[in-house]
Structures are given as structure tokens and as C-alpha cells.
Amino acid sequence: MTRPATASTGARSRSLVRRLFLLANLLLRALWLYAKKLLRDRALSEPRAAAAFAEDAVRFATRYVAVASREKGALIKLGQVASLRVDVFPEAVSDELSALQDRVEPRSFDEIRVQIERELAAPIEKFFRSFEREPLAAASLGQVHRATLSEGREVAVKVLYPGIEQTVRLDLLVARIALWLFNFVTISDLRLVYREIRDSLLREMDYQQEASAAEEIARDIAADAELRDRIRVPGIHWPLVTRRVLTMEYIAGATLRAHVDAQAVPAAGVPIVYWIVRAFLYMMFERGFFHCDPHPGNLLIDSEGRIAIIDFGMHKRLTPQVRDGLRRNVWATMRRDATLYAESLFEAGMVGAADRPAVERLAAVMFDPAYYNLTPKEFAGLDFGDYLKRVRSELKELRSFHLPEGVVMWFRSFSLLLTLGAELAPGQRPVDILGPHMPRFLAREARSPA
């Protein structure tokens, strides 16, 4: 009986060694990339050095995407978050990394069955009348199967892949080394970015935490009279929840895209986007405990037309001070008020008071009228090279820039909401997507003296 386990352990060890060599190769390539950058910065004019670095960086990003798509683990999540850091990476690199998708080939049912029975300490038949061998979905950390409990209730069973925890910890170790080595090339605090990603991944690998997060979000949604009948959160079946197995209510439904396409009406996506954005901004602005991953794969439309949130692995809690600072930051951005923008960053703990002049100059660049009130088509046609160069130039003047805990994931959620809106309701501008909700969530700021 021990031979299969021993063989499996040996294979897993060999896989980890192979992965370590792959990661070391990526790290060496990245080091060489930045070594060449330092040499070029000394030998070439700034435009030529920047162009050469951008070209090399895109090649590296292309290779990273290929390796991450093949090897999975934490590499996909790291790349997805890195794609949002336009303050750190050239725009072309961010575009390349944004192609990463958290979709993988599923593991065999035999592997999944062994993991379930190990976690529940009993044969699968003891708990389930039926259990579908083919998964409903498979991602980088685990996969979901449809099943029927012994009493007849349909459930979705999420199972963490065997051995994935060791794989992710290895990825994070190499990422930590890489971020430590590269922290000197940017004003951004990459160590904090690493901690955000690390903590998020470790939470995602603890399904008991995910179950608790789902229940807290369900309570928050139920507390809002407008949302409780429009947003659905699956119930948790706690007797069959462990760190590596999560059993929840099964919700049958259509994907957002399928639902919108079935309406055959140009504006069919607008009301869907409205209520998704309303629900997520409610979590982000009012409750402070929010879902960090509002992408189409985590949302369904059920048979009654309600929007169902079906995955809660990525979640974060903000302190009231940080939440208030971010709320004020959005209000300042909407008003294009450089002074108020600077104050919001101080309130959120992102910069110190000595950086006020630099922050106001940064805001003046960010609030350039040429980049406001554009349609997605107009927005996509802009050349952001000069704009990002100006933003980075002002960022370099900041001496106290710091991202408080939760801010990286908050901005990730905000960015994903805008992306979702553009996909489901083409032609809508960011102001169209966010504008209807801002009077509610920014009422206190609107009442404050200008």
C-alpha cells in the first residue's frame, strides 16, 4: 500500500527540482535584463536606452507568459498582478503579462478522489450519492466538481490539487529573491507587493478561510436592500469543508457572456454591469471586506436572473483609515483636484507630508484632460508611451511612497471592474460604468468643503 504513495512523493520531488531549475533560469534572465539596462543607461542616450530596455523586457515577458502558462502554480497569479503595475514595468510588458489566464488542464479524477478521501478520512461514497468525474472548472490551484450529497442536495466541491502548496511556496521563494534583487530599480515598494500576493495565495489555498469569506460577503449583501434580491452567494456545507476541500451549494447558471449574447440586444450588458459594479463597490467602499477577483469566470446568471458570485478565494480587508483615504482619492480623481488628491494619499498612508509638492505635480500629469471622457475605442487608440514616461518621471520624485496593506488588491479589483464593464457593455466609458454609483459611495466627500 505504501508503494504508490512513495512513487507519488518521488515524482513530486523530481517535479519540484525541475521547477526550481526553470525558475532559476527565469531569474538569471531577469538579472541579465537589468544588468544590460544599467550598462545602457551609462552608455546611451535616455531615449535609446529606454527603447532597448523595453524591447528586451517584452521578450522576457513573452517567455514568462509561456513558462507560466505551462507550469501554472503561483506564476500565473504573479504575472497577473505584475501586469497592473504600470508604475514599475513598461506598458508593452504589462500588455504582454495581461494575456495570462488562470485556466489549466484538469487533474485526473483519481488524484482528486484520493485528495478528498484523505481530507474527509472516509471513502467518497460515504458523503456523496453521485460525484461527476469531469470538473466544472479547473484553475491553477484546484478544480471544481459537481456532486450530489447523500440526502439529495446538489453541491459544488472544490478540491485543492495534491502537492500544489509545495509548488506555490517554491514559486514564492524565488519571487521573493527576485523582488529583493530588483527593489533598487524602482521607487515602488516591491516587498509589499510580494507580501500582498503571498498572503492572497496562501488564503486561496485555505478553503476554510474561503468558506468564512463567502459567508461574510453573503451577510454583507443581505444587509443591503437593493442587492439582497439581485446578488446570490452559494451556501456553505460546513460538515464537508477542510483546508483542502470546500463543499458549497451548486448554482446552475449561464456565463455572463452567454447571457448577454442570448438577449440579442446591443445594450443587454448594461444592467448586468450596473449591478456587478454596484455590488463590488459596496464591498470596497462601504464594508471594507471585499472580493478581489471580479472576472467573468467567477460570476454567473442564475435561472431567476440573479448574479451569482461563485468563487471567494481572493478576498481582502481594509482598515477604516485606508478605506476612507481611497474613497477620497477616487473623489479627488473624479474632480481632477490635485490638492485633494495629495491629501487623499496622505490620509491613506501612501506618502508623507514632505512629498506634497511632488504629489500635486504627479496629479497634474495624471489629470491631463486629453485622457478623460473617452470611449473605449478612443482610449485604445491613444499612445500612452509619453504619458507613462511623464508619470514615472514624477513618481521618481517621491521619497516616501508606500502602499498600505490591501491597496494592491483594491486597485486590482477596481481595474477588473472596468475591464468587465468594457467587455460586457462595449462603448461605455469608465465614467458611464462608475458614475451612477459614485453619489452613494462618495456622499461624505461630496458634502465636505472643497
Coil, strand or helix at 280: helix
Give pLDDT, residue 84.
Answer: 63
376 in Cβ contact with 428 (< 8 Å): yes
Whole-angstrom Cα distance, residue 251 to residue 234?
7
383 belongs to the catalytic site = no
Torsion of the alpha carbons at 313, 319, 322 and 325, rounded to the nearest 10: 110
E strands, 153-207, are: 154-160
Please report, for the chain, how many H helices and E strands are present, in that order: 19, 11
Give dist(CA 70, CA 77) in Å, integer. Answer: 13
Q: How many other CB atoms are found less than 10 A from the CB of residue 169?
A: 16
The per-residue pLDDT for 383 is 58
* pLDDT per position as a tens digit, 193-244: 778 788 888 999 999 999 999 999 999 999 999 999 999 999 999 999 999 9
**88 pLDDT band (50/70/90 cuts)?**
low
Tens of pLDDT, residues 94-124: 778 877 766 678 899 999 999 999 999 999 9
Separation CA 45–CA 47 (nearest Å): 6
Grid coordinates given for 268: 443587454
In this predicted structure, which of 27-36, 71-80, 151-160 has the lowest mean pLDDT?
71-80
Assign 429 a pLDDT band (cuts: 50, 70, 90).
confident
Q: Averaged over 55-61, what is the pLDDT? A: 87
Q: Would you call 14 exposed, middle or buried from its count of C-beta atoms within 10 A (0-12, 13-18, 19+)?
A: exposed
Alpha-helix residue ranges (DSSP H) falling in 189-311: 190-204, 207-222, 256-263, 269-281
Nearest to 136 by CA among 325, 13, 310: 310
| Average pLDDT over all residues of the chain | 84
The active-site residue, picked from 293, 311, 324, 355, is 293
Task: Kindly report, residue by residue over 135-173, the tens digit of the pLDDT.
Answer: 999 888 999 999 999 999 999 999 999 999 988 988 888
pLDDT by residue (tens digit) across 304-345?
A: 999 999 999 999 999 998 898 888 888 888 788 888 888 888
Quick: pLDDT tens for 345-399.
888 888 888 888 888 888 888 887 776 666 655 655 655 566 667 777 777 778 7
